[in-house]
Amino acid sequence: MKDNDDARLEFPRVLASTVRDMKNSLGLLMHNWHQWVGQLPPELAESGERGVIEYEALRLNGMLMQTFGLYQLLTDQLPLHPDWTDIDELLQEQLARHHEILEARNISSSCAIEDVELFVLDAEQVGSVIGNVLNNSIRYTHSAIQLSASQQDGMLVIAVSDDGPGYPEQMLGRYASGTRDVDTSIGSTGLGLYFNQCIASLHQRGDRQGFIELRNGGALGGGEFLLHLP
């Protein structure tokens, strides 16, 4: 019985190590892919297949990062380093990381900042949340994505809006620790949404806690993801 218990305790560490190795292998694969694409003539380098490969690689990398992040959360090892952050720079960085995929899919992107310049948050973790949502929006939007930030009721609100069909009705609403759990019965693993919910709730100030919200009919008329941070 003790051997079985030891195996169960060891498995998460083995899984985390495997995820790290997979992420490193994927990074090496994509590095060589970009080098190879750079040697192709323009008519081949800009083909639709390139956009598909790079999008799916980015999506897979995001899932691996989320899986490892959840392992760190469950083992109380997830580092959270809040500091003053330039919000415009944070959002522009995420758009830059997705530039090639957005361009390959003919998706226009924009960034709108209102009444907020600097804010205290963990830029790396919040950036991973925005990147995760961007990946999802690229998959479902028709032609446009907008990142925006504003202050509402003393909280920073970062929104990712698109002009796609919107979120399913059963997904709409607020997600926060102890308020609403992710529903995995909607045909998705729910990993990304759960990870985003966890990162948001780690940001706390006084008796206020971060949360995420999904709604439709936002700035571009489609789905809109909102990250609320105190």
Q: State pLDDT tens for residues 187-209.
A: 455 677 888 888 898 899 988 99
**Does pLDDT of 45 surpass 80?**
no
Q: What percent of the chain has pLDDT over 70?
A: 83
Where residue 167 sits, what CATH number does that domain have?
3.30.565.10
What is the per-residue burial (b if ≥16 Cβ within 10 Å, else e) of 145-170?
A: bbbbbeeeeebbbbbbbbbbebbeee
For residues 94 and 199, membership in a common domain is answered with yes
Highest mean pLDDT among 25-29, 104-108, 180-184, 216-220: 216-220
For residues 59 and 110, membership in a common domain is answered with no
**pLDDT tens by residue, 14-27:** 776 777 777 778 77
Give the residue numbers spanning the domain of 193.
Answer: 83-229
For residues 61 and 136, what is the distance between their CA atoms, to the nearest angstrom?
A: 13
**pLDDT tens by residue, 136-149:** 899 899 999 999 99
Residue 106: how many other CB atoms lie within 10 Å: 9
**Does pLDDT of 12 surpass 70?**
no
**Does pLDDT of 2 surpass 60?**
no
For residues 99 and 58, membership in a common domain is answered with no
For residues 194 and 199, what is the distance between their CA atoms, to the nearest angstrom?
A: 9
Domain end (from 38, 55, 74):
74
**Does pLDDT of 42 surpass 50?**
yes
